[in-house]
């Protein structure tokens, strides 16, 4: 049974990878780090226009569980990322990456959380949207959430500095 679940996940990931290479979302690239491991991907995400992330290209990994797409992957930025919805270790905290079903904290609707109809492309596009419009009500990074709410100018300065660092400038 476990072998079958893993092969279902592998087939799905191979299909999604093919789709992403033939029809990628604008500016985004993603795929397996090596062809020997389809369960660990690398992604490059552009900073959205008209945000302090603009001009940046942010690297991240996606680690898929063996029961994908029944369970969501874990996405983690591998470059400096100061954002209300990103933990200090780089892990992204957005609804689409939360396990399916009802939220034990009753903050999110089940329809906002992961479901097998979601895809890598939808995750990546959701992360671009998250960069443009943080959710400061459920902050993974309390300092960034507070700064976003109370001192947007300083928030923008910190983000621009991180964006330049991510570019190696």
List, by residue number, the catalytic residues: 93
Helix/strand/coil for 31: strand
Question: HSE on the CB side for 131, CA within 13 Å?
Answer: 25
Measured CA to CA, the distance from residue 15 to residue 40 in angstroms comes to 15
Measured CA to CA, the distance from residue 56 to residue 132 in angstroms comes to 13
Measured CA to CA, the distance from residue 149 to residue 152 in angstroms comes to 7
Measured CA to CA, the distance from residue 21 to residue 31 in angstroms comes to 8
Measured CA to CA, the distance from residue 90 to residue 75 in angstroms comes to 8
Name the token pair of 5: 């679940």
Backbone angles phi, psi at 57, to 5 degrees: -130, 120
């Amino acid at each position: 049974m476990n072998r079958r679940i893993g092969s279902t996940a592998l087939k799905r990931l191979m299909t999604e990878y093919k789709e992403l290479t033939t029809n990628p979302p604008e500016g985004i690239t993603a795929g397996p780090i090596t062809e020997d491991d389809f369960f660990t991907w690398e992604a490059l995400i552009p900073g959205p226009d008209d945000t302090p992330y603009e001009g940046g290209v942010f690297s991240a990994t996606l680690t898929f569980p063996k029961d994908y797409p029944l369970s969501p992957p874990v996405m983690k930025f591998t470059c400096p990322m100061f954002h209300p919805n990103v933990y200090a270790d780089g892990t992204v905290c957005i609804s689409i990456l939360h396990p399916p079903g009802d939220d034990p904290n009753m903050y999110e609707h089940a329809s906002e959380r992961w479901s097998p109809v979601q895809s890598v492309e939808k995750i990546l596009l959701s992360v671009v949207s998250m960069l443009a419009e943080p959710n400061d009500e459920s902050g993974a990074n309390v300092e960034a959430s507070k700064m976003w709410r109370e001192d947007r100018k300083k928030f923008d300065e910190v983000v621009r500095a991180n964006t330049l660092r991510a570019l190696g400038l």
